Structure 1
Amino acid sequence: MLKKLDQYIIKTFFGPFLFIFSVLFFIFMVNIVWIQLSQFTGKGLSNWEIVKFLFYLSVNVVKMVLPLTILLASIMTFGDFGERYELAAMKSAGISLTRIMMPLFAIVSLLSIMLFVFSNNVIPDFQRKAKNMMYNIAATKPAINFTAGQFINSLPGATVKFDKIYGENGEHLEGVFVHKVANAYEDQRTIIAKKGEFTPAANRNYLKLVLYDGYIFEDNIQDKNYLERLKQPGQSVKFDSLVQHFDVSDVINKAIEDEKITDDYRFQNYKEINKTIVKVKKENDFSFNSINSEMVGQTNNYVTYIDKIKNPAKPTEPFAIEKLKEDKKLEVLYQAYTKISFLQNEKKNKDTQILDIVKYYNKIIMYQQGIIAYSVTCLIFFMIGASLGSIIRKGGVGLPVVIAIIIFIVFYVMNLTVENITWKGKLNPYFGAWLSNLVLFPFGVWLTYKALTDSQVFDVEKYKALTKPLWSKFVKEREHERYQ
């Protein structure tokens, strides 16, 4: 059974914890809404579908919010204890700082375990739902993919491009280009119009596009032989208005909740990712062997020629370009230059291919290790926060918040930097996933030691006393110069 002191400490901790978690979750959610909401509003989606999709995306935010919340709440809690002299009263009663931290350390350990379970089981499931819902929305609502100035292939049987899209629901268009998707033996058809608009069709299985002031370019080559096609002139028809229907019945009937994308490592838990790592390793070995064989095969002729020259049993006279005629010499040099350029380009392509393979493998490793690493970060942040709070003895949302944000920014920037370096294959992914924790853990241990020994690490007066002799000497020298 918890003692009254433990109950009081836990109660004091959970006050700022719940408040900070709510605020930070809201801030991170606003960031997601700001990025994603404009993509979906006015595109035919219901409010419930938009809210559901944003909820799926927001679940992943918990992994970042919880460690920062623990850091802030622990600084504020122990800062309040110090500011109200409650920490001094506890110590004067013979209660050590370690004993004071113990109930909150147990609570944070429980939160860390909960974060691991959440990251291992809940987040992958919601990421799968978000990814599939995004894919199905794009398929079910073709207009959602319309971006001005880009060729779009989401409409069945056509490629379209719009120079400008405007209107409350993006229904008005300018600079319309519609090209029928056809092979080389079918009739080719292209429509160009100055303006257009999407209007409701009588049949919901069709998307209705009304075009104004344009041309239809068509060549009737189907079922005609080669000679007939050569004689067939292109046709151009001007129109004032034209109605074009697109059959979207296949995509309309797709359920938004259908899950068609399942083979992604972010949809798996820790154990399932282990199997994926083994599988990807085998695939990578095969890919590397293929790349190696291909590169060796391309340079095999040169290797054979060098071996013949080095073999004393079969002496071969080296190729002498000086003995060739001028036109032949230029031809040989051009061929050599072409071959070298080809090999250089091939090397660049293979380097890019290898980098992509390494990057994908390292991403899987870092994602898997991150499931555990973020849980450990919670414990490290508690060590740092509790120690800092007991040292600075300042509560509220002033100095503690500033210090916590600085520590979190350092952690976040370090994470991003290490992540980019690891993806390039310059750092072991297992080490890269844990590097931020390995850097912060000694700092947390040092702060905890300073807090246990009542060190005045952040006492400004202490540093003023250390620099006072130097400062006094400087002031005296300035006064001496002034009176000379």
Structure 2
Amino acid sequence: MAPTWTEPLRRQSQKLQRQWRTLPLLDRWLFAEMLGPLLFGIAAFTAVSLSVGVVFELVRKVAEAGLPLWAAGKVLALRMPGFLVLSFPMATLMATLLAFSRLSGSSELTALRSIGVKTWRMVVPALVLAALMTLLTFVFNDVIVPSANYSASNVLDSALGRALSAQTGKNVVYSRFGRITPKEPGGNAGEGLTQLFYAKEFKNGEMQGVTLLDFSREDQQQVLTANTAVWDENRAMWEFRNGRILNIDAANNFTTSANYTSYYYPFTRAPQDVGMLPSDAAQMTVAQARRAEALLVQAGDQKEARRLRVRIQEKFAFPAICLVFGLIGSSLGVRPNSRTSRSQGFGISVLLIFGYYLMSFIFSSLGIKGTLYPFFAAWLPVLIGLGGGLVLLRKASR
């Protein structure tokens, strides 16, 4: 009989089962003990965070702003991956803490110690599970969450009759630096700010309320204002519409001005790219965030560029929280005669998570202010957490 379409799935399942059986019995047993609390933690923390972060706000919009129920349900489903990512580290902490506490309380870990199993060997499965959760968190955070949040914002805005969020931006500023043309031929005016582009709003592919200052010539400055400006891809120029141009001759203290309906100005399309940047780094992948950082550096917005550097490092550091919590949870639970109920484990997890996130927030703020390098602002909480976990593990091993 010819194989059905389910045959490849069956073979893959059998292969995974064989690989699972090759693991030592101790590891399979501990993995099985942690799986139940892990799934419970993911469900519990996701439900709580969704209720606080999304559900109440959607209910208010349905009641007050007339948001359709289908749109509210779609937004809720699209926002769920973002809250799943938040629940993965918390569930890892809770799973390792509860599983090892139960085994320690029932003297099963004591029995393992009596036959020579070291404490660090008991913790290895928890660290492997935490490493897998770290990888899963990074994949979710970089591949699924940005596009899901982007779609959720668009669904919400379109359902409420607003412009799509990806097509709008306010107070767009872009500055370009380069060589300034000197007064005399063969002279040297050096380098500096050549153009400063400002728009009150970028909406539906169009800049509105535009002002451009041109300092590219040493002996003359130019000011262009326009009601709107549109990037012309074919000409690689900006078309300023319904505005006024003012030329200032600094040497002779002379000015000229003229109104226009259409004026083409050679410039980069970077202001449009800046206007299209998501305001929230959670809607960007790592690659998009790096590109946005480069644009902000070109635009001379050092503060926003520094903030984005911190967020980029946090995209790598955040998944590592699973490893930190896995080490801390297992180290606390593996202590002799440790007994922790599910409710106590939930409470301890909340306290540890609150303390860790508070520390992360403080370091992140210092990084954005420039007090700490972005790398240290993002990774110091992870390193401190790992250090604390190793101390707890050492104490549990005595």
- CA gap of 1:400–1:140, structure 2 versus 1, over 3 A, is closer
How many angstroms apart in 2 are the aligned matches of 1:70 and 1:127?
24
Instruction: Name the amino acid aligned to 1:17.
Output: L
Pairing partner for 1:54 from 58, 76, 79: 76
CA contact (8 A) 2:123 2:331 kept: no
Q: How does 1:3-42 map to 2 (within 5 A)?
A: 3-32=24-53, 33-41=55-63
CA contact (8 A) 2:38 2:95 kept: yes
CA contact (8 A) 2:61 2:67 kept: no
Instruction: Name the amino acid aligned to 2:47.
Output: F
Instruction: Name the amino acid aligned to 1:263.
Output: L
How many angstroms apart in 1 are the aligned matches of 2:371 and 2:58?
33
Identity %: 22
CA contact (8 A) 1:422 1:428 kept: yes
For residue 425 of structure 1, report the CA deviation from its aligned partner.
3.5
For residue 35 of structure 1, report the CA deviation from its aligned partner.
2.9
How many angstroms apart in 2 are the aligned matches of 1:424 and 1:389?
38
Instruction: Name the amino acid aligned to 1:112.
Output: T
After superposition, the C-alpha distances for 1:178-210 in whole angstroms (9 at most, x for unaligned) are xxxxxxxxxxxxxxxxxxxxxxxxxxxxxxxxx
2:317 corresponds to: 373
Higher strand share: 2
For residue 381 of structure 1, report the CA deviation from its aligned partner.
0.8
2:161 counterpart SS class: helix
1:106 counterpart SS class: helix
How many angstroms apart in 1 are the aligned matches of 2:371 and 2:28?
49
Pairing partner for 1:87 from 84, 90, 109: 109
Q: How does 1:107-118 map to 2 (within 5 A)?
A: 107-118=129-140
CA contact (8 A) 1:63 1:374 kept: no
Pairing partner for 1:283 from 299, 302, 327: 299
How many angstroms apart in 1 are the aligned matches of 2:364 and 2:156?
26
How many angstroms apart in 2 are the aligned matches of 1:366 and 1:65?
22
- CA gap of 1:436–1:417, structure 2 versus 1, over 3 A, is same
Pairing partner for 1:263 from 277, 290, 306: 277
2:91 corresponds to: 69
Pairing partner for 1:101 from 116, 119, 123: 123
Q: TM-score, normalised by structure 2?
A: 0.61
For residue 63 of structure 1, report the CA deviation from its aligned partner.
2.4
Pair 1:419-2:398 in alignment = no
CA contact (8 A) 2:97 2:330 kept: yes
User: Which is greater in Rg?
Assistant: 1
For residue 36 of structure 1, report the CA deviation from its aligned partner.
3.4
How many angstroms apart in 2 are the aligned matches of 1:437 and 1:403?
19
Q: Larger deviation: 416-425 or 444-453?
A: 416-425
Instruction: Name the amino acid aligned to 1:394.
Output: R
How many angstroms apart in 2 are the aligned matches of 1:130 and 1:362?
27
Higher helix share: 1
For residue 125 of structure 1, report the CA deviation from its aligned partner.
0.6
Pairing partner for 2:142 from 120, 126, 132: 120
For residue 415 of structure 1, report the CA deviation from its aligned partner.
2.1
Q: How many residues align?
A: 263
CA contact (8 A) 2:58 2:72 kept: no
1:158 corresponds to: none
How many angstroms apart in 2 are the aligned matches of 1:267 and 1:115?
15
Two-structure CA RMSD over aligned residues (Å): 2.3
Instruction: Name the amino acid aligned to 1:93.
Output: I
How many angstroms apart in 2 are the aligned matches of 1:366 and 1:61?
21
How many angstroms apart in 2 are the aligned matches of 1:63 and 1:272?
19
For residue 2 of structure 1, report the CA deviation from its aligned partner.
1.9
CA contact (8 A) 2:89 2:133 kept: no
How many angstroms apart in 1 are the aligned matches of 2:155 and 2:346?
37
CA contact (8 A) 2:68 2:159 kept: no
User: Structure 1 stretches of 5 or more lacking a match?
Assistant: 142-260, 288-356, 454-484
2:341 counterpart SS class: coil
CA contact (8 A) 2:30 2:125 kept: yes
1:292 corresponds to: none
1:225 corresponds to: none
How many angstroms apart in 1 are the aligned matches of 2:58 and 2:276?
22
- CA gap of 1:31–1:393, structure 2 versus 1, over 3 A, is same
CA contact (8 A) 1:13 1:73 kept: yes
1:263 counterpart SS class: coil
